[in-house]
């Protein structure tokens, strides 16, 4: 009995943490903060991002505040499993751009005793749940919802309003392409768009 309990206590526990919110809400900044703390604790850390996100750097995760950390760009969620190696903590940025297989990948890693920290947009520019993020939020042990400040009125913002006229779901960009806005301002902007179309 004692040996069985000792074996259970020595087993490494894994879990999933999700950091979700709009553009400019500090998701990547929070991801970087948690990963740096893991490194200070001398844990083996691997960071991944989708290969299509090369706004600031091809081989770094970079926040809008220009803080950065080296990462491995991958073109599919399955590659994260292949490249995870001997790690204690895995960070994944811009999770919304990955395929839905990311949910199984994160669960698989957590089941192996790895702490998985995922950051991404919870909604697309149309205000709809984005990619694998809703599924990740559902199965995560910890979910942190962060907010930006509405550039129009100063309230809490949780929508990413696209400034360019484009219907493409994936349109990688920063402040030249998007604004963080609150629900009221988002709805007003959408109404104005509809009037222009008519």
pLDDT in tens, 58-112: 554 544 454 556 788 999 999 999 998 889 999 999 999 999 999 999 999 999 9
List of residues 6+ apart from 175 with CB closer than 8 A: 24, 64
Residue 165 lies in a domain: no
Q: Which of 17, 30, 46, 94 is catalytic?
A: 94
Residue 172 lies in a domain: no
Residue 184 lies in a domain: no
Residue 183 lies in a domain: no
Taking 70 as the threshold, does the pLDDT of residue 187 lie above it?
A: yes
Residue 189 lies in a domain: no
Q: Is 17 one of the catalytic residues?
A: no
Residue 31 lies in a domain: yes
Residue 23 lies in a domain: yes
> How many structural domains compose the chain?
1
The whole-model pTM stands at 0.84
Give the domain extent around 110: 2-147
* Cα separations in angstroms, 88 against 10, 68, 116: 14, 20, 9
Nearest-CA neighbor of 88 among 51, 49, 114? 114
Q: What CATH code is carried by the domain that includes residue 96?
A: 3.40.50.300
Residue 175 lies in a domain: no
């Amino acid at each position: 009995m004692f040996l069985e309990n000792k074996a259970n206590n020595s087993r490494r526990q894994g879990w999933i943490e999700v950091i979700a919110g709009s553009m400019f809400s500090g998701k990547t900044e929070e991801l970087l903060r948690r990963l740096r703390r893991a490194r200070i604790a001398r844990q083996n850390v691997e960071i991944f991002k989708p290969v299509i996100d090369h706004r600031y750097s091809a081989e770094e995760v970079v926040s809008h505040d220009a803080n950065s950390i080296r990462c491995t760009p991958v073109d599919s969620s399955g590659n994260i499993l292949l490249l995870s190696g001997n790690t204690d903590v895995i960070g994944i940025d811009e999770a919304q751009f990955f395929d839905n297989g990311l949910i199984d990948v994160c669960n698989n890693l957590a089941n192996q005793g790895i702490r998985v920290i995922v950051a991404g947009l919870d909604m697309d520019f149309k205000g709809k749940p984005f990619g694998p993020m809703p599924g990740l939020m559902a199965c995560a042990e910890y979910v942190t919802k962060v907010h930006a400040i509405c550039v129009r009125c100063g309230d809490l913002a949780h929508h990413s309003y696209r400034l360019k006229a484009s219907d493409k779901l994936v349109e990688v960009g920063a402040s030249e392409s998007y604004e963080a806005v609150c629900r009221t301002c988002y709805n007003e902007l959408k109404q104005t768009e509809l009037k222009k179309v008519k």
